[in-house]
Amino acid sequence: MAADLLCQPSGPARARLVLLHGWGADAGDLMPLGQALAEAIATPLELVALQAPELQTQGSGRQWYGLFPADWAAVPAAVEGLKERINKLGSAEIPLEATVLLGFSQGGAMAMAAGCDLPLAGLIACSAYPHPHWQTPVIRPPVLLLHGRHDDVVPHSAALALKNELSPSKQVCDLFSFENGHAIPVEAQAEMKKALKRWLDQTAQNA
C-alpha cells in the first residue's frame, strides 16, 4: 500500500469515495466516516483516503499547504498535485465519473479547488472555504456544502462565499447548515448519505 493513501476495497466496488482530511490530521482521520457512508448506499464503494503531502509545522499531523499563517502562494501547485493524484485513481472499472470527492476543512477547500475541474460524480465539502482569487468553471460536478453555524475555526460565511462562487453554473449546489461548530455531526452525515445515494446509486444503475 502506498504511504500517501489508505485504500479499503469493497469488492467488487462499482464506485469510489475519495476522502481529504483537514489541516493537522492524516489519511486515517476520515476513514470511519467513509465506512459509515459506504454502508448506507447500495453501490459497493472503494474508499480512498489521501494523505496530505506536507508535514504540519506545528504538530504531528499533515497539511495540504501552510495555513497558520496561510501560504496562499503554495495553493496552485498543491491543487494541481491533487488533481494528478485523483486522475491516477480513475480506471476502467471505476472511472472518475463514478467517483465522489469529500473533504473537511482545509481538505474541503482542496476538494472544491481541484474537484470542480474534474469529471466527478459529485463533491462534498464540510466546513470548507474558498481559496483567494478562486474562479470556478461553469461546467462542474454537483456540490453539497455542509457547515456549522457556530464554527469558530472556519466561519459559516465561508460556506456562503463558496455557494456564491458556484452559483453561475447550472449544476446543483446545495448548502446544509447545522447547529454545531467545526465538526461533522450526525445530521450532516445524513445529508452526505442522501447525496451519495443520489449520485452513485444512479450512476451504477446506468453503467
Reported as type and span, the H/E element at residue 93 is none
5-206: what fold?
Answer: Rossmann fold (3.40.50)
pLDDT tens, residue by residue, 68-101: 899 999 999 999 999 999 999 999 999 999 999 9
pLDDT tens, residue by residue, 101-119: 999 999 999 999 999 999 9
Q: For 138-154, what is the mean pLDDT?
A: 96
The pLDDT mean for the chain works out to 93
Locate the domains of the chain by residue range.
Answer: 5-206
- How confident is the model at residue 47, as a pLDDT? 96
Cell triple for 102: 469529500
pTM of the model as a whole: 0.94
Contact 51, 4 (CB under 8 A): yes
Nearest partner of 18 among 121, 93, 166, 147, judged by Cα = 121
- How confident is the model at residue 156, as a pLDDT? 97
